[in-house]
Structure 1
Amino acid sequence: MPSFSNKCQKNKIQGTVVLMFKNDLHLNIHHAGISGALRGLLNTIFRHAVDDLTALFHKQVSLSLVSATKSDENGNGKIGKESYLENHLPTFPTLGARQKAFNIHFEYDADFGIPGAFYVRNHKHTEFFLVSLTLEDIPNHGTIHFICNSWVYNYKNYKKDRIFFTNNVFLPNKTPASLVKYREEELENLRGDGTGERKEYERIYDYDVYNDLGNPDRGEEYCRPILGGSSTYPYPRRVRTGRKHTGDKDLKSETPAEETYVPRDENFGLLKSSNFLIYKIKSLGQNLLPLLESLISHHEFHSFEEVRQLYEGGIKLPTNMLSKIAHLPALKEILRTDGENVLKFPPPQATKVSKSAWMTDEEFAREMLAGVNPCVIRRLREFPPQSTLDATIYGDQNSEVSKQELEINLDGLTVEEALNANRLFILDYHDTFMPYLERINKIAKAYATRTFLFLMDDGKLKPLAIELSLPRPSEDQHGAVSKVILPALEGVESTIWLLAKAHVIVNDSCYHQLISHWLNTHAVIEPFSIATNRHLSVLHPINKLLHPHYRDTININGLARHGLINAGGIIEKSFLPGPNSVEMSSAVYKNWVFTDQALPADLVKRGLAIEDPSSPYGLNLVIKDYPYAVDGLEIWDAIKTWVQDYVSLYYASDEAVQKDSELQAWWKEAVERGHEDLKDKPWWPKMQSIQELIQCCSIIIWTASALHAAVNFGQYPYGGYILNRPTLSRKLIPEKGTEEYDEMVKNPQKAYLGTITPKYKTLVDLSVIEILSRHASDEVYLGQRDNPNWTSDSRALKVFKKFGSKLAEIEGKIHERNKDSSLSNRVGPVELPYTLLAPSSTEGLTFRGIPNSISI
């Protein structure tokens, strides 16, 4: 027997177990509407209970080591004797909030070999969160780390005991023979058998269609189409819950539930502050919306100044409402009430310097390049623009804008000359909205819009015209009825121009929220997360690469289906498409292309870049001062380089990729089940080469991190000022000779406010997007990991450190570019420097920071 250090007892291996207790009592207190005194008393009782629990806990949790190098008679790794937690270590260093450490010792002899896994049994009725196990001074080996981060329930809940593996990595065919069975069994556990209703304690990842958005049993107005599983409504898949279907009205819709199942390790309770942000959204939907409706005595803003009072004075509370809030303590933080005023929102960054800069044409155009939705504008390649809608169904939907109308503001150029010089651009929402306008305009009043822009010599974009289109009346032929609005600086024409811009921004706001944000990041990533958990073992290097980029995504998506995008949810209440909202994103998903999600491919497809192998990143930007693209290409290149460096550590040839059984099963299922409705598209990579693996992983990481950051964390800084980014339009532009036209002439502000989002829905919008735009205190950003021991491979740690250094360098460049006065699009009239793709951030509303994952 080799000699042991002083950290090991004779024939013993010493370990340290770190875990967190389930804070049941605290959760109940937090949710309950009880007095502060009683809450304080219960919290005191709870703290004493936790102390007692800590003292007894070690007697009820056991661990058994599994050898990675020595096998039993069946060829499987030897399983050691069961050991129990010992004394609590109250002064253990580097523990996170609420974490507790315990000693444990395992019997050991030379015939056991090197531990590669361990089983854990929880003999208590209450679950706990297992953070890690560290084994010290393993003879002839040293320290071994097990990164767990998993809820562990009473062992009787599991068909097989819970197993955890070391932070080593092995391709399937290089797995130590003694661990092969355990590796395969754990993946089988995570896949489940596809039957039954999921239970809270389960960790099963399976697929289902979006059949849980509607609630037919509540009435026809709550019916929604099933998204996914048909060519009519294709959609990415979500995690299967197995809940029962609704009654006789719709046998395919899933019965809504108070809590939506997500695999247990996807939901941290309130252990993570990001989950507290999620909890706040849930409280908002369940409690705040009814309260807001009763708070608002009138539903219209009467002036721009009244809108600004939301940030300067808040809303005066009626006396009878004070007691209601007092009994809903969970709302106090959201409402920020001082007992008199409520909902005093923080000033949006876009208004901190100037209260009127949002109205300028320069800012209107600049936000297409550096705002919250900078990934839709495209270069105009033909004139007039042609619709892609089926003419046999929709008639002629091509643009009716004339060359003469554009050439008024083309600085002496013809349309042909501007096209040939790559100086004409368009923000085109016509084909997205036109098929839904008849339905939308039964509950609102909106146009399908096209906005034409010109790239000036100074690098700024200048709006040329806005085309507003409506469907022809049903008794007429199919097609569009369009009007063209030209820029104006004074008189009634300037008011009409401002209203036309508002209609464009309403289109943009809704497309942003439903497609650029929800569909193109949240929804499309979930299937990859499901497939990764089902087919890539935690021992697989690609699991180690991708897993941080799925953190909290399934959880936040479940919440979204429960209260944000569901029938009657917050999005339907406050955004233009109403009950058509998610269905519209399904129509766009039909044309979603995975490979186009790579930023260089996206820029080329939109005509914002031209391929050039001799240039950095292999392309040239058509608009040199395009903040999202300039910063984004640097981040994209850093991600791809990191992925390439990492992948090259484990795959020496294309053949190694082809023979990786877990990798092939992962990709096949992600395509054929996760994105089943598009599985036959020819553009899917075949996963037959190292380069395809690098491409796919880079796209997944970019989408989950940088793309989501770019379209999410600017929501409140720009959209928090509803005048700048309205989400709803309620009136069409008045026609000359009507009473509405005369009123518009008399009071332009009232006409604008009467067109856009009303007061109550503004408060709903602002309450939601403020939460969505905040960073949690424990957020993990791109280039960071939540545990320094995430892998035992020193080579991987080295290239990851290189990645972090590159991101820090990029952040410095972004800071310097924002100080360059020649780059006008980076700051603009609102004087808000573009920092959404600066990698790091602090907690809160910062307008910067790239989290690893879609965690809010």
Structure 2
Amino acid sequence: MKTIIGRVVLLKKNVLDIIDLSASVLDRLHELVGKNVTLQLISSHAFDTQSPERNLKGKVGKPARLEDWITTITPLTEGESTYKVTFEWDEDTEVPGAFLVQNHHHSEFYLKTLTLEDVPGHGHVHFVCNSWVYPTKRYKKDRIFFTNKAYLPFETPEFLRSYRDEELEILRGDGTGMLEEWDRVYDYAFYNDLGNPDKDPDDARPVLGGSSEYPYPRRGRTGRPPTKSDPNTESRLPLLMSLNIYVPRDERFGHLKLSDFLAYGLKSIVQFLLPEFQALCDTTHDEFDSFEDIYKLYEGGFKLPGGPLLDRIRENIPLELLKIVLETDSDGIAKFPKPQVIKEDKSAWRTDEEFAREMLAGVNPVKICLLKEFPPTSKLDVQIYGNQNSSIKPHHIEKNLNGLKVDEVLKANRLFILDHHDSLMPYLRRINATTNKIYASRTLLLLQNDGTLKPLVIELSLPHPDGDNLGAISNVYTPAENGVEGSIWKLAKAYVAVNDSGIHQLISHWLHTHAVVEPFVIAANRQLSVLHPVYKLLYPHFRDTMNINAFARQILINGGGILELTVFPGKYSMELSSVLYKDWVFPEQALPVDLVKRGMAIEDSDSHHGLRLLIDDYPYAVDGLEIWSAIKSWVEDYCKFYYKNDDMIQNDTELQSWWKELREEGHGDKKHEPWWPKMETCHDLIDVCTTFIWVASALHASVNYGQYPYAGFLPNRPTLSRRFMPEPNTPEYDELKENPDNVFLKTITPQLQTLLGIALIELLSRHSSDEVYLGQRECPEWTMDAEPLKAFEKFGKKLKDIEEKIVKMNNDEKLKNRIGPVNVPYTLLYPTSEEGLTGKGIPNIEEKVSKQLQHWQCAARMQLF
């Protein structure tokens, strides 16, 4: 018998949750009466004679307890504690392949790693756990953790296979009952928890998913009971219970991290959300009087109200969070950071050049397309919507074509379009029946010789007043600089920006990088063991996605939530995203495929990356193709190490189950779509994994972290419009002549929604101090296989080279789209970042955690208690 020394690293609950300070005392009492935390090693090569022959299992060693729990001092700032554990181990049983944990304490803890020292014949053996371990009474079977060696199902050591299968059965659950925080069940549900018909019929929202009318990706199941008013709608948690919304515990931030996220969000949002905040504004209740009023939000600051507002906050915010939130603003002055778009020049955002440049290098650079026919046509059903083709004529644009004819620039691939017509027209009548007033829009642009785009024309359209089937009523606006015509052109650009802001937030951001990703996470945890190499490859891009989405369902995308208050579709926001999900095609999320589909690139085997961009200076595409290529090379190196031939793909039972369930359950409303890739070859697997990693990391970064730099100044990216375009011979038109800025501000997002929107995107756009970026891993020993580790190191070096290229291109004065009139370098696909509002960096996932906030909260804890 051999003694093996182990080191366990964990985080105690009392460090991670300021609300449960009793955890430490109770756990120590349990230790005193012999209720310990014990571990048992499991052999991967020796048979357990106690298990039935039909269910061979590895031999389980004697329980070994964590030593010195009572005397180990837990540091308040970092929270990690290290414990010694001494195992008795039979040398004949060879290397341990897993271990069991029994937690006999009062509280859960977060188990990070177990490291075994001097294992006979193997030396150092490492287990990466990263999981919450609750008291044993919460589990039907002891928690099991496997070594960080990757195995395909058929390669798994024989005596570990039963453990591997049992663990997946636990994670799948039985599909019944309300799930509790200690449950580890990954299951599917419709988006049927957005509305609250029990509160008010107007708060009801349609169920998204499960129907051809409202298809949608699936979310994680919580099992909450239905509402009384509608058995198909799941009941909602009260807002203040949002901390407790169910997701599998390992998908949640730690207690400290989630509290930080909420506290930081409340720090921004509570200040501006409540009606009393309007007392800080001037006498015009809903409006900014001038642009100077908006600049004051960033330059001078404003004093927070007291009295009634503080009383109301105390009624609605938990005391512990309230104290931390308000202590950070003890001077009572609130001020937003100045967005990059107005740092150098307060007026450059209004130029036509910047308006066009942001379609290539702004926060939503994924919608611009090559115009292939003139005038633009509609794909809407003529029987329902009548003639929706464009009313733009050659004479509208030829005066700005530098002496060329429409046919010439069309043939030369120099006409481009930002098209928000077909996606919005079916909803205009309903949206415009509210206080919001929007148009469907088409914007045509010319590619100039210097590589920049010049806006040529904007078409704004409304449904025919006598019926949708009678087609569109459209007006066409052309560029002008001065007089009332110049003011009208600025308004036309604002209506386009409103459309683009809403589509960006609902589709480019939420739907295409959040909602569609969640089924991948659920299916992987249900069908791929943590031992599976594909799980290990994708895992960094899974973590916390479900939690962020659940938090969004609770206060952001829910009926009456922040998104409905700040984005033009209002109560139709999520319904609209469901309708546009019908157009989502997974293979088209691959960057090269997307660029070709939008006509922004053509296939060219002689060109870099096999594509030739039609706009050479298209920063999103240029940087994106570099990142895409690096991801694909990494995935190819990784997958080919484990899969030597295509037969191994086809015979991988877990991989095939994952891909089947993802399509048929996770994206079940699209399971009959013929475009789903097969999973028959290594090439298929590489394409699928590359596309997923691109979406979860780089695509998300490109549409998220530029929000505050560009949209933190709302006039540049307004989210609402409340008036139609002024018509000649009306008081509104006369007002436009006299005070164009006043009309502009009365048209776009009003004060309260502006403040709320800025607070929200400030939160979403921040990087934490300890964020893990693409090409990085939290644990350097994430696998025991040397070749994948070498390939990952090569991937990291490639990303460093890309960073240098981006810096060089941003300093090239010939590439005008990389900086623009506002002097904001394009860095949204720069792989790494510092902490804060940097406008750069590609995290593996979207995680809002900050060690600085941990230090701050721990200090607050010491002061408060």
The answer, yes or no, to whether TM exceeds 0.5 is: yes
What SS does structure 2 have at the residue aligned with 1:743?
helix
Residue of structure 2 aligned with 1:112, choices 93, 116, 128? 93
1:223 paired to 2:204: yes
Once the two structures are superposed, what CA deviation does each residue of 1:236-277 show, in whole Å capped at 9, x if it has no partner?
A: 110011111111x321000001332100101133444x7623
Give the letter aligned to residue 394 of structure 1.
Y
Residue of structure 2 aligned with 1:163, choices 144, 163, 180? 144
2: CA distance, partners of 1:106 / 1:241: 39
Residue of structure 2 aligned with 1:320, choices 307, 310, 316? 307
Give the letter aligned to residue 224 of structure 2.
R
Preserved CA contact (<8 Å) 2:40 2:101: yes
Aligned ranges 1:279-358 → 2 under 5 Å: 279-281=263-265, 289-290=273-274, 293=277, 295-297=279-281, 298-320=285-307, 323-324=310-311, 330=321, 342-358=333-349
Residue 795 of structure 1 and its aligned partner are, at CA, apart by 0.9
Residue of structure 2 aligned with 1:442, choices 426, 429, 433? 433
Residue 50 of structure 1 and its aligned partner are, at CA, apart by 9.5
Aligned ranges 1:636-651 → 2 under 5 Å: 636-651=628-643
Q: Which residue of 2 aligns with 1:573?
A: 565
Preserved CA contact (<8 Å) 1:467 1:485: yes
What SS does structure 2 have at the residue aligned with 1:426?
strand
Aligned ranges 1:716-731 → 2 under 5 Å: 716-731=708-723
1: CA distance, partners of 2:204 / 2:639: 46
Residues 325 and 53 of structure 1: is their aligned pair in 2 closer, same or farther, counting only changes over 3 Å? farther
Residues 50 and 810 of structure 1: is their aligned pair in 2 closer, same or farther, counting only changes over 3 Å? farther
Preserved CA contact (<8 Å) 1:322 1:339: no
**Please, which moves more after superposition, 750-759 or 314-323?**
314-323
2: CA distance, partners of 1:756 / 1:693: 46
Give the letter aligned to residue 303 of structure 1.
S
What SS does structure 2 have at the residue aligned with 1:255?
coil
1: CA distance, partners of 2:776 / 2:529: 22
Aligned ranges 1:95-110 → 2 under 5 Å: 97-110=78-91
Residue 25 of structure 1 and its aligned partner are, at CA, apart by 8.8
Q: Which residue of 1 aligns with 2:528?
A: 536
Residue 343 of structure 1 and its aligned partner are, at CA, apart by 3.1
Give the letter aligned to residue 236 of structure 2.
P
1:502 paired to 2:494: yes
Aligned ranges 1:138-157 → 2 under 5 Å: 138-157=119-138
Q: Which residue of 1 aligns with 2:834?
A: 842
2: CA distance, partners of 1:278 / 1:71: 49
Residue of structure 2 aligned with 1:393, choices 377, 384, 398? 384
Residue of structure 2 aligned with 1:136, choices 117, 123, 130? 117
What SS does structure 1 have at the residue aligned with 2:574?
helix
1:521 paired to 2:530: no
Aligned ranges 1:801-812 → 2 under 5 Å: 801-812=793-804
Q: Which residue of 2 aligns with 1:480?
A: 472
Aligned ranges 1:261-272 → 2 under 5 Å: 261-272=246-257
Aligned ranges 1:39-54 → 2 under 5 Å: 49=25
Residues 60 and 283 of structure 1: is their aligned pair in 2 closer, same or farther, counting only changes over 3 Å? farther
Over the aligned positions, Cα root-mean-square deviation in angstroms equals 2.3
Residues 303 and 252 of structure 1: is their aligned pair in 2 closer, same or farther, counting only changes over 3 Å? same
Give the letter aligned to residue 305 of structure 1.
E
Residue of structure 2 aligned with 1:402, choices 393, 403, 410? 393
2: CA distance, partners of 1:370 / 1:78: 58
Q: Which residue of 2 aligns with 1:771?
A: 763
1: CA distance, partners of 2:353 / 2:796: 36
Q: Which residue of 1 aligns with 2:781?
A: 789
Residue 287 of structure 1 and its aligned partner are, at CA, apart by 7.9
Residue of structure 1 aligned with 2:45, choices 46, 69, 79? 69
What SS does structure 2 have at the residue aligned with 1:628?
helix
Residues 197 and 575 of structure 1: is their aligned pair in 2 closer, same or farther, counting only changes over 3 Å? same
- Percentage identity across paired residues of the two chains: 57
1:204 paired to 2:210: no
1: CA distance, partners of 2:653 / 2:378: 44
2: CA distance, partners of 1:189 / 1:477: 53
What SS does structure 2 have at the residue aligned with 1:546?
helix
Residue 854 of structure 1 and its aligned partner are, at CA, apart by 3.2
Preserved CA contact (<8 Å) 2:276 2:309: no
Residue 591 of structure 1 and its aligned partner are, at CA, apart by 1.0
Preserved CA contact (<8 Å) 1:325 1:332: no
Q: Which residue of 2 aligns with 1:277?
A: 261
Give the letter aligned to residue 478 of structure 2.
L
1:375 paired to 2:351: no
1: CA distance, partners of 2:744 / 2:574: 27
Residue 108 of structure 1 and its aligned partner are, at CA, apart by 1.1
**Please, which moves more after superposition, 401-410 or 368-377?**
401-410
Residue 474 of structure 1 and its aligned partner are, at CA, apart by 3.1
What SS does structure 1 have at the residue aligned with 2:824?
coil
Residues 693 and 562 of structure 1: is their aligned pair in 2 closer, same or farther, counting only changes over 3 Å? same
Residue of structure 1 aligned with 2:66, choices 58, 81, 85? 85
Q: TM-score, normalised by structure 1?
A: 0.93
Residues 713 and 79 of structure 1: is their aligned pair in 2 closer, same or farther, counting only changes over 3 Å? same
Residues 371 and 331 of structure 1: is their aligned pair in 2 closer, same or farther, counting only changes over 3 Å? farther
Once the two structures are superposed, what CA deviation does each residue of 1:404-444 show, in whole Å capped at 9, x if it has no partner?
A: 10112111111111110000000000011111111111111
Preserved CA contact (<8 Å) 2:27 2:106: no
Preserved CA contact (<8 Å) 2:16 2:79: no
Q: Which residue of 2 aligns with 1:251?
A: 231
Aligned ranges 1:176-195 → 2 under 5 Å: 176-195=157-176
Residue 125 of structure 1 and its aligned partner are, at CA, apart by 2.0
Preserved CA contact (<8 Å) 2:604 2:611: yes
Residue 314 of structure 1 and its aligned partner are, at CA, apart by 2.0
Residue 221 of structure 1 and its aligned partner are, at CA, apart by 1.1
Q: Which residue of 2 aligns with 1:471?
A: 463
1:16 paired to 2:7: yes
Residue 723 of structure 1 and its aligned partner are, at CA, apart by 1.0
2: CA distance, partners of 1:271 / 1:341: 25
Residues 226 and 762 of structure 1: is their aligned pair in 2 closer, same or farther, counting only changes over 3 Å? same
2: CA distance, partners of 1:602 / 1:715: 22
Q: Which residue of 2 aligns with 1:36?
A: none
**Please, which moves more after superposition, 249-258 or 655-664?**
249-258
What SS does structure 1 have at the residue aligned with 2:789?
helix
Residues 332 and 154 of structure 1: is their aligned pair in 2 closer, same or farther, counting only changes over 3 Å? closer
Preserved CA contact (<8 Å) 1:200 1:261: yes
Give the letter aligned to residue 736 of structure 1.
P
Once the two structures are superposed, what CA deviation does each residue of 1:692-712 show, in whole Å capped at 9, x if it has no partner?
A: 000000001000000000000
Residues 610 and 90 of structure 1: is their aligned pair in 2 closer, same or farther, counting only changes over 3 Å? farther
1:825 paired to 2:817: yes
Preserved CA contact (<8 Å) 2:23 2:106: no
Residue 22 of structure 1 and its aligned partner are, at CA, apart by 0.9
What SS does structure 1 have at the residue aligned with 2:390?
coil
Preserved CA contact (<8 Å) 1:395 1:477: yes
What SS does structure 2 have at the residue aligned with 1:401?
coil
Residue 613 of structure 1 and its aligned partner are, at CA, apart by 1.4
1: CA distance, partners of 2:310 / 2:194: 34
Q: Which residue of 2 aligns with 1:656?
A: 648
Residues 815 and 53 of structure 1: is their aligned pair in 2 closer, same or farther, counting only changes over 3 Å? farther
Residues 293 and 572 of structure 1: is their aligned pair in 2 closer, same or farther, counting only changes over 3 Å? farther
Preserved CA contact (<8 Å) 2:7 2:82: yes
Aligned ranges 1:692-771 → 2 under 5 Å: 692-771=684-763
Residues 768 and 50 of structure 1: is their aligned pair in 2 closer, same or farther, counting only changes over 3 Å? farther
Residues 837 and 743 of structure 1: is their aligned pair in 2 closer, same or farther, counting only changes over 3 Å? same
2: CA distance, partners of 1:243 / 1:795: 45
